[in-house]
Amino acid sequence: MATKVFNASLFSILIPYLEDDYKSLATCCLVNVQFHDAFTPVLYRKLSVVVPSNPYDEAGTRSQLWSCRSPHLAPHVQELVLTGHLAFPQHMERETSTMQLVLDVLPLLKGLRSFVCKPQIVSKEIFEVLLDAINVLPLRETFHVNRVCMETETAAQLIKDNIRRLTLESPRAANLVQLQSQISKLHLLELHLTDDCGSASPRLFDILQDGVTELEAFTFGLCYSITNNQIFRFLDHMNHLKRLELHYYVQLGLYANTELPALQHLVVHHAFETTVDGSRRICKWIRSIIGHSSIRLLELKLLDPFSLEEHLGLEGPSFDALMTHLALKHPNLRRLDAEWSYVSQGVLRKVVDRCVHLEWLALSIHVSSLGLLRSSTELKLLRAFRCHLRGIIYRKSKLTTTEEIIGQLFSGSSWSVSTKSLRWDRVVEAHR
């Protein structure tokens, strides 16, 4: 019986939808030989291992590790993520533990490009062996560790010459001083100092200045002791910077005196603003960063979106100043993700009319503004939007729920719309 031959373009369509769905990927590998060859590299591209504290819970984490011992599957692994308790169990033979299996598999991962190590506990003995095994792999380019790893006695050996992308979670100033000589020797493309950077001092940027002039992406976590001048004096040396992720707080000030001509992607984390003055500060600060760039992606994220119970359902101060600037100065914007930033109907109309290249849009709008997205003929490339609705008032009519109101508004359109409740908030998601 002849085997059905599928067009290769089918797999290029399916794979993006299934990249993180390991159960579906495993099922696809069993369809036939052609499916197996297409989906096996995707299934084993990322190897995630959680080493439990209880050795008797280890059985469930070992199956993919055992598979990766095969010479046919090990070369597919490009990213290794280690979490949990990186230590040998006290009441179990080392040779049969998950940790030992990880150490046995590592030398086989010749195609490994990314190593992520975020343990709760790590022993000095195991960390030394891990580093020795990882540092001999030829293609390793991405290195991601947390504070637990940086505080080990072997932290000075963390970074080798072939690292191009480095992520340090919640680094202390002492950790960076210890790693200074290694970082200065690298030609990093990406440097990410994430989460809590509160112990960092202004001297931090002097430590990092050497070896980061070629950066294309930089992230700096929350640190109240750093000012605008210190951050952007450091960034002004980076003529190739394309992606920037920062936290905004009042101490930074209003203006970032900088020029980042190559910047295309900006991510800003901020607290929920309840005052007009607060929203104006954020708008001015962001406008001063992107004023000399051709921004393509802008993301505004809340520091703690789950602590907003008293604010949900309220309009709050608008971000009209920033959105007007985007409409006038950045018509090539592709993605605008600011779902907690309220925008008035008039300014939304400007964004819709001028930013015609938008592919993704997330904003907080009045319920009456939904009609603009429904009827717009300018946003031909828009494939999805997500909106937090404000100003919902139920009147005595046949339409008594948000779902019915939105259903009638989008009936007969090309949009597939769904709604959900977030406490008192209503969220509309649509795609086409």
pLDDT tens, residue by residue, 111-140: 899 999 999 988 878 888 888 888 788 777
First to last CA, the chain: 39
Among 35, 116, 102, which Cα is nearest to 74's?
102
Average pLDDT over residues 176-201: 79
Burial of 289 (0-12, 13-18, 19+ CB in 10 A): buried
d(CA 183, CA 366): 48
**Among residues 293, 338, 345, 341, which one has the least CA distance to residue 319?**
341
CB contact at 8 A, 257 and 232: yes
As a dihedral over the C-alpha atoms of residue 372, residue 296, residue 165, residue 200, rounded to 10 degrees, the angle is: -80
Percent of the chain with pLDDT over 90: 22
Radius of gyration for the chain, computed over Cα atoms and rounded to the nearest angstrom: 25
Q: What is the predicted pLDDT for the residue at 329?
A: 93
Local structure of residue 28 (DSSP, 8 states)? H
Average the pLDDT over 403-422 and give the result: 69
On average, the pLDDT of the chain sits at 81
Distance between CA atoms of residues 301 and 267, nearest Å: 7
Predicted pLDDT at 409: 67
**Residue-wise burial string across 237-264, b where 16 or more C-beta atoms lie within 10 A, e elsewhere:** ebeebbbbbbbbeeebeeebebebeebb
Q: What pLDDT, on the 0 to 100 scale, is given for residue 7?
A: 73
The most distant pair of C-alpha atoms in the chain lies apart, rounded to whole Å, by: 73
The pLDDT score that the predictor gives to residue 205 is 78
Query: Above 60 in pLDDT, residue 308?
Result: no
pLDDT over 80 at 9, yes or no: no
DSSP letters spanning 293-326: S---EEEEEES-TTS-TTTTT---SB-HHHHHHH
Q: Which of 215, 210, 163 is nearest to 189 (CA)?
A: 215
- Structure confidence by residue, pLDDT tens digits, 226-259: 888 888 888 888 889 999 999 988 777 767 778 8
Torsion of CA 219, 223, 227, 231, to 10 degrees: -20
pTM reported for the whole predicted model: 0.85
pLDDT for the residue 408: 66
Is the predicted pLDDT of residue 353 greater than 80, yes or no?
yes
At residue 396, the pLDDT reads 43
| Domain spans in the chain, listed from the N-terminal domain onward | 268-396
Given this model, what pLDDT does residue 254 score? 67
